[in-house]
Structure formats: structure tokens, C-alpha cells
Amino acid sequence: MEISDLIEAHGYLALVVGSFIEGETFVVLAGFAAYSGYLNLPLVIVISTLMNFAWDQFYFWVGRSHGPWVLRRFASMEGKINRMLGLLERHHVPLIIGVRFMYGFRVAGPIAIGMSNVPWTRFFALNLFGAALWAALFSALGYLLGNAMELLLENMRRYEGWLFAALAAIGLIVWLAFRNAHRQQSP
């Protein structure tokens, strides 16, 4: 079975599962697959939006209902959460929209927002907007990457399996490196 057959058969499922592991990498890969004709770009954006939105809603709920427990259980998050709470007082609209773009605040940000006095209805609306913006941006990045690769490689179909594998490997290596660095920084 070719990698292209796997992408066509399981690409959307991989996008859903991948959003739990490393969202940006999988969304870029899905955008690349959409450019190659294996996935539908609007559907990639919708799935990515919904998954990103759902995760942030979940973390908001965790902060709202279990915030003090999170601070006791995960002491390493306390500094990030406190920093986010300070910023929320002045800039909650851009922070809610942009938290998904802030490295290191992907989980702590929505938890902190849940612990703040931001109404859930406001978070819901701004989170949905931010998730749609994030999904469109990273999907488009993957799509444009496919276009750039095609310009560089006239006969891209011959190399696309390798390109998908290389992008997935690079994404995994970057994720592992950041994860390892984060673990080394934690006491």
C-alpha cells in the first residue's frame, strides 16, 4: 500500500488524532495533502478549527472548575498561569485569540483564562474565532508549501511520499526536542 493510499483513506482521522499530539505539524501536513489532492482543504480547516477549539474549551473548563488543583498538581505551570492572569486584566481579547500561537502557553493559557473572571460566553466566541484563524493559517501554510515544492520539483508526485515522511519526521523530532527541553527545565 502506498503512502498516498493511506493519506486518502485515513488522512482526516490522522488529523483528528494528530491534533492531540502536535496540532501545527499535522495541520500543515494536512494542508500539504490538500494541495496534493488527497484531502479537501475546507474540510481540513473545519476539522482543525473544531479540534483546536475543543481542546481550548476543555482546558478553559479545567481552569474554571479545577484551577487551584492544577496549580498544586503541576507547580511548573504556576509561573505561566500567573503571568497570563496578569496580562488578562489588560489584554484579554487579543490573548484569548492569540494564546494558541504562544509557545509555552498552549495548555497553561486556556487554563489561566478559565481561572480568570472572563465570562465563558466571551471565551467561547473569541476561542472559536482564534481557532478558525489558527486552522486557516496553518492549513494555508501547508497548502502553500505544497505549491512551493511543486515549483521546485516539477515532477512532485514522484517525491511526495518522501516529502510527507520527511515533514512528519521533522515535526516529530522538533516535538521531541521541545518536550525533552521542557522536561530538563522542570525540577
Q: Tens digits of per-residue pLDDT, 15-57?
A: 888 877 777 888 888 898 899 888 999 999 999 999 999 999 9
Secondary structure element (H or E) that encloses residue 71, with its range: helix 41-73
| Cα 178–Cα 53–Cα 109 angle in degrees, nearest 5 | 50
Residue 154 has pLDDT above 90, yes or no: no
Could you tell me the CA-to-CA distances from 32 to 10, 46, 158, 160 in Å, in that order?
A: 15, 15, 15, 10
Instruction: Kindly report the backbone phi and psi dihedral angles of residue 140, in degrees, each rounded to the nearest multiple of 5, phi listed first.
Output: -65, -35
pLDDT of residue 18: 81
* In contact, 149 and 36? CB cutoff 8 Å: no
Give the chain's end-to-end CA distance (angstroms, integer).
45
Kindly tell me the burial class for residue 68, based on how many C-beta atoms sit within 10 Å of its own C-beta (0-12, 13-18, 19 or more). Answer: exposed
Residue 1's pLDDT band, with cuts at 50, 70 and 90, is low
Query: Structural domain of residue 22, as residue ranges?
Result: 3-185
| Cα 61–Cα 67–Cα 70 angle in degrees, nearest 5 | 110
Residue 156's pLDDT band, with cuts at 50, 70 and 90, is low
pLDDT of residue 165: 84
Query: Between these two residues, 32 and 181, which has the higher pLDDT value?
Result: 32
Query: Between these two residues, 61 and 162, which has the higher pLDDT value?
Result: 61
d(CA 16, CA 25): 12
Who contacts 124 (Cβ-Cβ below 8 Å, separation ≥6)?
57
Q: Grid coordinates standing for 91?
A: 489584554
pLDDT digits (tens, 9 = 90+) for 80-130: 777 777 877 788 888 899 888 887 777 778 988 998 889 999 999 999 999
pLDDT of residue 187: 59
pLDDT of residue 61: 95
Query: Between these two residues, 22 and 155, which has the higher pLDDT value?
Result: 22
Total count of domains within the chain: 1
The pTM (predicted TM-score) of the whole model is: 0.75
Helix, strand, coil: what percent of the chain each, to 5?
Answer: 85, 0, 15
Range of lowest pLDDT (53-62, 78-87, 156-165, 175-184): 156-165
Our measurement of the distance from residue 69's CA atom to the centroid of its chain's CA atoms, rounded to an integer in Å, reads: 25
* In contact, 92 and 116? CB cutoff 8 Å: yes
Residue 158's pLDDT band, with cuts at 50, 70 and 90, is low
